[in-house]
Amino acid sequence: MAQIDPTFLALPARRLADAALGRARELGAEHADFRLERIRVASFNLRDAQLESATDTEDVGLAVRVVHDGAWGFAAGIDLTPDGAARLADQAVATARMSKVLSKDPVVLAPEATYSDVTWISAYELDPFDVAEADRVGRLTELSERLMAADGVDHVDAHLTHVLENKFYADSSGTTTTQQRVRLQPQFTAVQVDRSAGAFSSMRTLASPTGRGWEYLNGVGCDLDGEIAELGDLLAEHVKAPSVEAGRYDLVVDPTNLWLTIHESIGHATELDRALGYEAAYAGTSFATPDKLGALVYGSPVMNVTGDRVVDHGLSTIGYDDEGVRTQEFDIIRDGTLVGYQLNRHMAAQQGHNGGRSNGCAFADAAGHIPLQRMPNVSLKPAPNGASTEELISGVERGIYVLGDRSWSIDMQRYNFQFTGQRFFKIENGRLAGQLRDVAYQATTTDFWGSMEAVGGPDTYVLGGAFNCGKGQPGQVAPVSHGCPSALFRSVNVLNTKSEGGR
């Protein structure tokens, strides 16, 4: 059983919190919270099985956020002394005073129970930082070399990032939490170059980033060895594959691709801060505005979507959010209808959703940044007795089976999206009939989800995800997972990316 890293526990978190929260109280703040965070990131890149870069980065800092006279104030620094912490409280109150004149309605926070001195640790077996660096690089080298040896593979890019995240939180209501998460992302890309034609093609492994430890590289939760063994042949077939004919196709979308479509067209669209316009100038707004709650038909009746920060190995999973709220699971879409939003304490109080309680979606990516409303794991439910992927394919006369994420883009209100993938198989009369290339699928969110005829069963369910979900100004990056089954969509617009490029 994992323990909170003793070197994090050795930091004077409680003394700093007392100094900051005490100072904020003296200055008349009606609410104050304090975070001490340490985020350690190791990143490795290998090019053709040679080490290109290995970095080990640690960010430690503290932050004080206040509500003072109804206005927000925030300050962050790196001076881990009681004086330094108290000074941040001074600065936070000073920024709140400056903001007051430009603010509209006074800030009120949704109530939350007090959790005094609780600890939470994510579900992993072995923190990769506890594996010798030579062994970590050795495993990447071994897999790279195996992939390099495959026929038709000219170059291999290998990448691994792993993170150890520690968060200490304390607030003026008496909640104190100490938490630890581990996550990692391995990726291998095979490249084939045809020098005489001046052409190149590539294909990447499908194993997703995950809230697991080093065991993931050794076959727990994914099969990297198996993926590496077949990637060379798949790339060789891809290189020779015919270019897709643009038009309408039925799609069977594998979870390794569908997670990203969920992320972009449901995850971001149901962030309440976006729907209320806080991101209007940057990440954008949402077509799913609060007046449509309970009425908007998001998709077909087989569509059921939840938000959660509790599932094992989920990248957004944690015990308590960055406002001291205990994490939960909640409905976002039920039987195809929009029924819920992602909330923080400010918006839960202001809008009254979820009975006026936050559903625990506040997150800051580092001590230096203010907590924003960030995405929980947003997941599409499988059908309890649903079909296998093969059975979904068997119901398609003329279609494409889509695997792996690649290019992605969606508009600022989350209507028009366009996705590519790692590999595409033609479906003819219910069977796979070889790969296609140059495929992109494009749709409007509600049309696409409305065209979802069937979701697969629990056996097809995979938790995908990303390390790099961006939002906010100053920009923040959040890890998040999305679980989903394979699913069948009818008559989706497919583009040929070569002809889009005028070639």
Partner 1 sequence: MSRPQDIVERALGYSVADGCVVIVAETTEANLRWAGNGLTTNGQMASRSVTVISTMTRGESAAIGVVTRTLGDVQALQELVRASESAARDADPADDYAPLVEDYPHDDDWEADSATTGVEIFSSFAPALGEAFDRSRERSELQYGYAEHQLTSYFIGTSTGLRRRFDQRDGRVQLNAKSDDLTRSAWAGVHTEDFSDVDIAALVDGLHTRLEWARNRIDLPAGRYETILPPTAVADLMTYAYWKASARDAEEGRNVFSKAGGTRIGDQLSDLPLTIRSDPAAPGLTCPPFEIVVASDGALESVFDNGAPIAATDWIADGRLAELVRTRSWAAKTGGQPTAFAGNLIIDAGGTADLDSMIATTARGLLVTSLFYIREVDPQSLLLTGLTRDGVYLVEDGKVVGAVNNFRFNESPIDMLSRAMEAGRSVPALSREWGDYFSRTAMPPLRIRDFNMSTVSAAS
Single-letter code of the amino acid located at 111: P
* The only residue of 106, 277, 301, 458 in contact with partner 1, by rule CB under 8 A: 277
Q: Measure the CA–CA gap between 403 and 424, rounded to whole angstroms.
A: 6
Please provide residue 140's backbone torsions phi and psi, each rounded to the nearest 5 degrees.
-65, -40
Neighbours of 85 (CB within 10 A): 27
Using left for φ > 0, alpha for ψ between -120 and 50, and beta otherwise, residue 237 falls in alpha
State the minimum distance, in angstroms, from the CB of residue 394 to partner 1: 31
* The only residue of 79, 245, 335, 459 in contact with partner 1, by rule CB under 8 A: 79
Task: Give 212-230 as a DSSP string.
Answer: --GGGGGTSSS-HHHHHHH
- CB closer to partner 1 out of 196 and 429: 196
Does the protein bind partner 1 through residue 52 (CB under 8 A)?
yes
The residues, ordered by sequence, that sit 6+ positions from 468 with a Cβ below 8 Å of its Cβ are: 477, 479
Does the protein bind partner 1 through residue 30 (CB under 8 A)?
no
State the minimum distance, in angstroms, from the CB of residue 481 to partner 1: 21
State the minimum distance, in angstroms, from the CB of residue 170 to partner 1: 19
Write out the binding residues for partner 1, residues 179-198 only, by CB under 8 A: 191, 193-198
Q: Measure the CA–CA gap between 376 and 328, rounded to whole angstroms.
A: 9
Does the protein bind partner 1 through residue 74 (CB under 8 A)?
yes
Task: Give the number of residues written for the chain.
Answer: 503
Tell me whether strands 372-373 and 362-363 are parallel, antiparallel or unpaired: antiparallel
Write out the binding residues for partner 1, residues 453-492 only, by CB under 8 A: 473-475
- CB closer to partner 1 out of 54 and 148: 54
Which part of the chain contacts partner 1 (CB under 8 A), choosing from 17-25, 127-135, 218-226, 304-312?
A: 127-135
Contact between residue 323 and residue 345 where contact means Cβ atoms under 8 Å apart: yes
- CB closer to partner 1 out of 318 and 494: 494
Write out the binding residues for partner 1, residues 154-173 only, by CB under 8 A: 154-155
State the minimum distance, in angstroms, from the CB of residue 175 to partner 1: 22
Helix 13-26 vs helix 82-100: crossing angle, to nearest 10: 40
Radius of gyration of the chain, Cα coordinates, nearest whole angstrom = 24
* The only residue of 83, 117, 130, 133 in contact with partner 1, by rule CB under 8 A: 133
Q: Measure the CA–CA gap between 213 and 243, rounded to whole angstroms.
A: 39
Using left for φ > 0, alpha for ψ between -120 and 50, and beta otherwise, residue 56 falls in beta
- CB closer to partner 1 out of 185 and 202: 202
Does the protein bind partner 1 through residue 45 (CB under 8 A)?
yes
Does the protein bind partner 1 through residue 299 (CB under 8 A)?
no
Nearest to 254 by CA among 496, 495, 482: 482
Does the protein bind partner 1 through residue 451 (CB under 8 A)?
no
194 bridge partner residues? 199
* The only residue of 85, 89, 275, 440 in contact with partner 1, by rule CB under 8 A: 440
Tell me how many residues contact partner 1 (CB under 8 A): 93
Q: Measure the CA–CA gap between 332 and 337, rounded to whole angstroms.
A: 8
The residues, ordered by sequence, that sit 6+ positions from 44 with a Cβ below 8 Å of its Cβ are: 51, 53, 54, 136, 137, 140, 158, 159, 160, 161
* The only residue of 113, 149, 229, 280 in contact with partner 1, by rule CB under 8 A: 280
* The only residue of 4, 51, 131, 383 in contact with partner 1, by rule CB under 8 A: 51
Q: What do you get for the CA distance between the two ends of the chain, in Å?
A: 57
- CB closer to partner 1 out of 234 and 415: 415
Q: What angle do CA 342, 344, 345 make, to 5 degrees?
A: 140
Q: Where are the beta strands (DSSP E) in 21-93?
A: 31-47, 50-68, 71-77
- CB closer to partner 1 out of 98 and 149: 98
- CB closer to partner 1 out of 31 and 414: 414
Which part of the chain contacts partner 1 (CB under 8 A), choosing from 54-62, 204-212, 233-241, 307-315?
A: 54-62
Does the protein bind partner 1 through residue 98 (CB under 8 A)?
yes
State the minimum distance, in angstroms, from the CB of residue 187 to partner 1: 15
* The only residue of 15, 57, 116, 335 in contact with partner 1, by rule CB under 8 A: 57
Write out the binding residues for partner 1, residues 413-432 only, by CB under 8 A: 413-416, 418, 420
Write out the binding residues for partner 1, residues 334-393 only, by CB under 8 A: 368-370
Which part of the chain contacts partner 1 (CB under 8 A), choosing from 96-104, 142-150, 381-389, 479-487?
A: 96-104
Q: Measure the CA–CA gap between 290 and 293, rounded to whole angstroms.
A: 5
- CB closer to partner 1 out of 288 and 302: 288
Write out the binding residues for partner 1, residues 227-266 only, by CB under 8 A: none
Give the dihedral sign, CA 387/399/438/149: positive
